[in-house]
Copies of this chain bind each other. A is one copy, B any other.
């Protein structure tokens, strides 16, 4: 009997950022929010190679500026400090001073260089951080009672209804390499208008350039596919830390297991992205839009995002209404020059549009399908061989409720 090679197997784990060797995490309530946890950390035993992707919003929040500058020093981060409840955004020079002070205080608590600490914030825009509470929190945060990954995941949330984590393991050079992730964010109508934070840890041994390349690549296929291009909040950020403790030979694009590592990283990113989309504010369903047969990836993305951003599609799915006309309309105004008669649309397994005409389908059957928690919309453009997947959520009464009274 032949042994099954596990070389290309990515094993999914119900764990998160502390599965990779040498990482710990924790969180506490320091008083920014009324009750919930609001200050969290991830720490690596040793300085980890670090790469990030950041919001493209021209109003970039203070902690993102500070963290990018710090990473640029030697592409290493050993600790991440996150607060929720206040975004430290639109806070001018004082905001930069506060983010720097947060970084400095945590570095001093850990006895490491300041630039090895990444800081980030999420919450209300335009209010200064309550620094007294944060300083007091930083003094206590390393206490034993706060040391729990669950605490970290709770501490980064804002309007999220659930924590989001995922981890995978792969074998590289005979070593077990783990990749873990945690995220916060909500799949809004324009998803990235809400702050999205992603934290990925790995014990893989990998150089900065390759890590950054892989992160950008998988982000484009995961976090950015729950996003309308350019629609980013002032605080969006995805960070990856790789501390090398798995002791594999350094990963580069020429390593035989490079693709496997990227596959693992992509799985973590995609799962977190889907969890964010599913946890849309007030959402009851995850919507997955697959656009196939496009001339280019870009055209496929534009069409997919046009559909996933359509409030009319989103409300129809909330109402379990097989309103394929709204899907066709969203394809038609996307700006991509599709051939009307070549386009096919399916809702789940049900073909609903072909040859410029609706297909006969059983309303009751499709309605039953639309009552599921995950809804797939499949579009075939028949213009090429490029394909993308995008994710979003339905639009519900509760979305309006949550967002009509967020600040007050």
Contact of A311 among B233, B311, B322, B325 (CB under 8 A): B311
| One of A97-105, A186-194, A201-209, A247-255 contacting the partner | A186-194
A318 within 8 A of B: yes
- Which residues from chain B contact A324 at a C-beta distance below 8 Å? 126
Q: Convert A105-130 into 0s and 1s, putting 1 for each residue whose CB lies closer than 8 angstroms to a CB of B.
A: 00000000000000000001111000
Q: Pick from B233, B312, B335, B404: contact of A329, CB below 8 A.
A: B233
Distance (Å) between the CB of A323 and the closest chain B CB? 5
Q: Which of B90, B230, B318 contacts A353 (CB 8 A)?
A: B90
Q: Is the interface of A mostly helix, strand, loop or mixed?
A: loop
Residue of B whose beta carbon sits closest to that of A57: B332
Of the candidates B126, B399, B406, B407, the one whose C-beta lies within 8 Å of that of A400 is: B399
Q: Please give, as numbers and ranges, the residues of chain B lying within 8 Å of A337 by CB-CB distance.
A: 58
Stretch at the interface among A33-41, A145-153, A288-296, A354-362: A354-362
In the complex the two chains form, is A340's CB within 8 Å of B59's CB? yes
A175 at the interface (CB under 8 A from B): no
Given contacts A56-B333, A59-B332, A329-B233, contact A310 B90 (CB under 8 A): no
Question: A326 CA to B126 CA in the complex, in Å?
Answer: 10
Q: Does A177 contact B (CB under 8 A)?
A: no
Query: In the complex, what residues of B have CB within 8 A of residue A334's CB?
Result: 230
Select A316's contact among B56, B233, B321, B403, beta carbons within 8 Å. B403
How many chain A residues touch B (Cβ–Cβ < 8 Å)? Answer: 65
Interface string of A308-322 (1 = CB under 8 A from B): 001110011011011
Excluding A126-B357, A399-B400, 16 further A-B contacts by CB distance (< 8 Å) are: A58-B340, A59-B332, A89-B325, A91-B357, A188-B311, A188-B312, A193-B330, A230-B334, A234-B328, A315-B400, A315-B403, A316-B407, A319-B403, A319-B406, A323-B406, A397-B397
- Provide a sorted-by-A list of 17 A–B residue pairs whose CB atoms are within 8 angstroms: A58-B338, A59-B328, A90-B328, A124-B325, A125-B328, A127-B358, A188-B312, A189-B189, A192-B333, A193-B333, A230-B334, A233-B329, A316-B404, A318-B400, A321-B405, A321-B406, A399-B400
